[in-house]
Amino acid sequence: MTHPRDILLGAQAGAHRIPVCDHYSGVEVRMRKSLALQAEMTAELGACVFDVTLDCEDGAPVGGEVEHAHLVSEMVLGAAVGSRVAVRVHPIDEATFESDVNIIVRTAGARLSHIMLPKIECSADVDKACALIDRALPSSARTDLIPIHVLLESSHAIHKVFEVAAHPRVQSISFGVMDFVSSHGGAIPASAMNGMGQFQHPLVVRAKLDIAAACHAFGKTPSHCVFTEFKDVDALSRAVRTASSELGFTRMWSIHPDQIRPILKAFAPTESEIETAANLLEAAAKVDWAPISFGGSLHDRASYRYFWQVIERAHATGRVVPSNMNAYFYKEEIL
């Protein structure tokens, strides 16, 4: 059976299939709860639907960075089989970066889904970080290199975003809206840091669009910044839909467990979208992906690609995949 992904997806169609939600926690009790929730929801939905990123940058108490790195390493090693656990290390220009890497990568690098690098300014920063990460990873730990996610937080970094997105090790790019706003010396108001204000100020919106455009150009995943209001589910849902449908983001940060399910729901396709996509793809597969007429419109592989990604997004967000598409999802992709 020929898989739609092999036929339809090219370099600019999302080479990296990762969860739409990236949940951050850095305090010990919250990190443990996050990992437990990930295991619980994986069992419930049949797929690991969100990443857990254990935070060394903002999570570690000042002066306790080494102890915190050892704690993170222990938690990564103790995570459930099939989980996706990452770590955000300190910025590369801080002495604690190398300490984080030497402790966590050396002991738990085999289990990391990725490493988040904050305050990246250019591709040379990624090169420098990767050299230290790869040197710390035991040669027998894994056959592949650890994927790298980066956080861009300044105007200079945004200026270099296409260069960063082109880097072969970069899998996803995130936007640090608060640092970005702060770096403008008052030229951008505080209202653009959070809430719906971050979707209104032109400089902030332009930065987000640049990230999304660069990621899609190189088959990487644009990850939207945090939305700090976690009690207002309607506001969070609006933010996710805006980030997704208007700005082109395919992933978003979560900083509270209550944000995870609303993020999954907002990124998920509707039942009618899933049904339409499944029926169209079934018809296309029957003619070996030649052009067809469906619902009064002509379709070929250009549109098949879009509808296959609807099915993949449904699976990634824990939605029920129609029976005629189930055969395309193999056990090793779910674990």
> What pLDDT band is residue 333 in, cutting at 50, 70 and 90?
very low
Query: Is the separation of the CB atoms in 299 and 291 below 8 Å?
Result: yes
Q: What is the 3-state secondary structure (H, E, C) of the chain?
A: CCCHHHHHCCCCCCCCCCCCEEEEECCHHHHHHHHHHHHHHHHHHCCCCEEEEEECCCCCCCCCHHHHHHHHHHHHHHCCCCCCEEEECCCCCCHHHHHHHHHHHHHHHHHEEEEEECCCCCHHHHHHHHHHHHHHCCCCCCCCCCCEEEEECCHHHHHCHHHHHCCCCEEEEEECHHHHHHCCCCCCCHHHCCHHHHHCCHHHHHHHHHHHHHHHHCCCEEEECCCCCCCCHHHHHHHHHHHHHHCCCCEEEECCHHHHHHHHHHHCCCHHHHHHHHHHHHHHHHCCCCCEEECCEEECHHHHHHHHHHHHHHHHCCCCCCHHHHCCCCHHHHC
- Structure confidence by residue, pLDDT tens digits, 90-126: 999 999 999 999 999 999 999 999 999 999 999 999 9
Identify the pLDDT of residue 200: 94
Query: Is the separation of the CB atoms in 299 and 280 below 8 Å?
Result: yes
- Structure confidence by residue, pLDDT tens digits, 65-87: 999 999 999 999 999 988 999 99
Identify the pLDDT of residue 58: 87
> What pLDDT band is residue 283 in, cutting at 50, 70 and 90?
very high
Identify the pLDDT of residue 16: 62
- Structure confidence by residue, pLDDT tens digits, 284-322: 999 999 999 999 999 998 899 899 989 988 988 988 888
> Is the model's pLDDT at 330 over the cut of 60?
no
Query: Is the separation of the CB atoms in 252 and 221 below 8 Å?
Result: no
- Structure confidence by residue, pLDDT tens digits, 191-200: 998 888 999 9
- Structure confidence by residue, pLDDT tens digits, 244-261: 999 999 999 999 999 999
CATH top-level class of 18-267 = alpha beta
What is the location of CATH 3.20.20.60 in the chain?
Answer: 18-267
Average pLDDT, the chain: 91
